[in-house]
């Protein structure tokens, strides 16, 4: 049963991408992509439910649906659906109708590569899938063909390729670690590595893990390897920014989490967790510094992604039932929330024809509904109650106290407060400063651009006040799978 869902989920974007390339009509392409995203979303839900009852393996163990991977798939499918709805309205504003088929072909392909990376059961194939996500999304980042977009695309592909070549080195060294236990030739599945881990050489395993952490950490956008992220997020079209932030970063985080379990089992001591926690804190620090003094609206959102990836890294790094539950919940909430933020930023950029915060003013008076949604999203992303991120951050803080990471918790709280003030200060300026010119220049955007903001914000409020028991059970299963197996 799960196999049929999985097949449908992967075939839908594949067919959509191929059909877009054949038909080359902008209206048909956007419909195809939307249908594909709906299929992905509808199949991702039962897959997530089924995954909690145990992993499913396909194609001679090359493909796996496990509880953590399925969760990343669910987050990806949500962002894909929201971004597909949004892009119908947004991409029409760009006036690039004759190239639009290529945008949607790449968009479906991008979603496909992210989904594929989440179900790969082989460490080598996972690396290749992550590499493919980069190659496809580079052309989406540079889609607008302005000098800035091409610059962002170039930096993106160079920095990511260099970064994940470190992850490839780490993968090869992990294979070497395993070959002392499992013999010279074996299938490098996550389970095989994990079973071999207790007998691995700790020094070599630690070296491999650190290479992996820095390598995939580049892709996750952990500071100080985050330098591609603000450029790529700010220069790509808004729906792609949402996909990069809400879907792509999670799929790379999945790799770090999978290796973290192996490193734990390999008796590397606290090293693996402490380094991940440290990277999380540095990301929060860098995020805080750049959020306070930011002038570009989408760069502001991008640094907020660095910050939230830091929070998720803290959650997984601290570990334990609460840490894992908080991190997974944060993933979902961040995916929903960052979609709202990028959609709102895209709308504001189009309405005011500027990327600068200082040129956006009087949002409140001009766009009451859309402005209210965006402002609510801004309150949510800084971790204010009653939204989902407040709950998930609270759970991670609690996990930190329980597992003896008090220092990390205090640092995290201080940085979150700085970010809260800095972030909302920009919104105060955009909402309550009356502009010098009269509002003739501000253009409204279509309903396609506002509807997905509703669709994302309503569940975010619901998740903030009500944490469903079924989700909690799912997280507990995940944390059991991800916890240390004592050798």
Partner 1 sequence: MLIAHLDPLASSIFSLMAIVSLLLAFVMLGSRWLNNYLYAFAAESWVIAALSAAVGFYGGYPELYLIAVLTALFRGLLLPYLVGRIIGRLNVTREIHEILEPSSSLVAGAFGVIFALIVSYRIGASLGLAGTVAVLALTIMLSMKLIGFLMLAVRHEALSQILGLLVLENGIFLGAQILVPGMPLLIEIVILFDLLVVVACFGVLVRYLVAHVGSTSSLDLNRLVG
- By CB under 8 A, name the binding residues for partner 1: 122, 124-125, 128, 131-132, 135, 138-139, 142, 145-155, 157-158, 161-162, 165-166, 168-169, 172-173, 175-176, 179-180, 183-188, 201, 203-204, 207, 230-231, 234-235, 290, 293-296, 299
By beta-carbon proximity to partner 1, the closer residue of 173 and 471 is: 173
Question: Measured from the CB atom, is 207 or 418 closer to partner 1?
Answer: 207
Tell me how far, at minimum, the Cβ of 162 lies from partner 1, in Å. 6
Distance in Å, CB of 392 to partner 1, minimum: 29
Kindly state the greatest CA–CA separation across the chain.
Answer: 74
Q: Residues 6 or more apart from 412 whose CB is under 8 A from it?
A: 280, 281, 284, 311, 314, 396, 397, 400
- Residues 64/191, Cβ–Cβ less than 8 Å: no
Contacts 24+ apart (CB under 8 A), 403-406: 403/318, 403/319, 403/320, 403/323, 405/277, 405/318
Closest CB to partner 1 among residues 149, 305? 149
Give Cβ neighbours of residue 69 (< 8 Å, ≥ 6 apart): 51, 118, 119, 254
What angle in degrees, to the nearest 10, is found between the helix axes of 202-220 and 147-182? 160
Cβ closest to partner 1, residue 161 vs residue 483: 161
Residue 403: CB minimum distance to partner 1, A: 29
For residues 142 and 239, which CB has a smaller minimum distance to partner 1 in the complex?
142
Helix-helix angle 297-318:228-235, to 10 degrees: 130
* Contact predicate 318/399, CB 8 Å: yes
- Does residue 137 sit in helix, strand or coil? helix
The CB-of-36 to partner 1 minimum distance in angstroms stands at: 23
Smallest separation, CB 171 to partner 1 (Å) = 9
Contact 234, 227 (CB under 8 A): no
Contact assessment for residue 377 and residue 337, using Cβ atoms and an 8 Å cutoff: yes
Report the alpha-carbon distance of residue 326 to residue 482 in Å, rounded.
14
Q: Which is nearer to partner 1, 153 or 248 (CB)?
A: 153
**DSSP notation for 232-260:** HHHHS-HHHHHHIIIIIHHHHHHHHHHHH
Checking 367-374 for CB contacts under 8 A at 24+ apart, the result is 367/442, 367/444, 369/450, 370/344, 370/445, 370/449, 370/450, 370/453, 371/431, 373/340, 373/344, 373/450, 373/453, 373/454, 373/457, 374/340, 374/341, 374/344, 374/345, 374/347, 374/348, 374/453
6 neighbors 77 (Cβ within 8 angstroms): no
Angle at 264 between CA 117 and CA 250, to 5 degrees: 30
268 φ/ψ angles, rounded to the nearest 5 degrees: -85, 10
Q: State in angstroms the smallest separation of the CB of 365 from partner 1.
A: 29
Tell me how far, at minimum, the Cβ of 119 lies from partner 1, in Å. 16
Among candidate residues 404, 60, 79, the one with its CA nearest the CA of residue 241: 79
Per-residue burial over 391-408, b if 16 or more Cβ lie within 10 Å, else e, is bbbebbbbbbeebebeeb
């Amino acid at each position: 049963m799960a196999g049929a869902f999985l097949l449908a989920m992967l075939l839908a974007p594949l067919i959509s991408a191929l059909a877009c390339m054949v038909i080359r009509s902008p209206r048909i392409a956007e419909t195809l992509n939307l249908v594909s995203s709906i299929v992905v979303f509808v199949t991702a839900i039962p897959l997530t439910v089924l995954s909690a009852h145990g992993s499913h393996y396909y194609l001679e163990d090359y493909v796996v649906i496990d509880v953590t991977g399925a969760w990343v798939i669910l987050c990806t499918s949500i962002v894909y659906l929201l971004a597909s709805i949004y892009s119908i309205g947004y991409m029409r504003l760009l006036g690039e109708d004759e190239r639009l088929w290529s945008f949607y072909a790449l968009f479906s392909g991008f979603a496909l590569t992210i989904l594929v990376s989440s179900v790969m059961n082989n460490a080598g194939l996972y690396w290749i899938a992550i590499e493919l996500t980069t190659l496809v999304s580079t052309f989406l980042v540079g889609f607008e063909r302005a000098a800035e977009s091409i610059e962002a695309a170039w930096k993106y592909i160079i920095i990511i390729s260099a970064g994940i070549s470190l992850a490839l080195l780490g993968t090869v060294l992990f294979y070497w670690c395993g070959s002392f236990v499992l013999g010279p030739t074996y299938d490098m599945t996550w389970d095989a590595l994990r079973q071999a881990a207790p007998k691995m050489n700790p020094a070599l395993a630690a070296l491999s893990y650190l290479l992996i952490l820095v390598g995939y950490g580049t892709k996750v956008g952990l500071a100080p390897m985050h330098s591609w992220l603000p450029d790529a997020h700010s220069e790509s079209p808004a729906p792609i920014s949402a996909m990069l932030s809400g879907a792509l970063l999670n799929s790379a985080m999945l790799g770090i989490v999978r290796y973290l379990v192996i490193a734990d089992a390999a008796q590397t001591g606290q090293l693996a967790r402490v380094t991940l926690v440290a990277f999380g804190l540095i990301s929060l620090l860098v995020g805080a510094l750049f959020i306070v003094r930011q002038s570009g609206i989408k760069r502001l959102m991008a640094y907020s992604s660095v910050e939230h990836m830091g929070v998720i890294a803290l959650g997984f790094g601290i570990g334990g039932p609460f840490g894992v539950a908080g991190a997974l919940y944060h993933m979902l909430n961040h995916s929903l929330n960052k979609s709202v933020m990028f959609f709102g930023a895209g709308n504001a950029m189009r309405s005011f024809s500027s990327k600068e915060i200082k040129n956006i003013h009087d949002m409140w008076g001009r766009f009451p509904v859309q402005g209210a949604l965006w402002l609510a999203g801004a309150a949510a992303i800084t971790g204010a109650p009653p939204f989902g991120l407040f709950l998930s951050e609270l759970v991670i803080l609690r996990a930190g106290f329980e597992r003896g990471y008090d220092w990390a918790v205090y640092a995290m709280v201080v940085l979150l407060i700085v970010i809260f003030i800095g972030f909302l200060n920009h919104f105060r300026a955009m909402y309550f400063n009356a502009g010098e010119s009269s509002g003739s220049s501000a253009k409204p955007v279509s309903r396609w651009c506002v509807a997905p903001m509703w669709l994302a914000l309503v569940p975010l409020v619901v998740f903030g006040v009500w944490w469903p028991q079924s989700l909690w059970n799912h997280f507990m299963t995940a944390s059991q799978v991800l916890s240390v197996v004592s050798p």
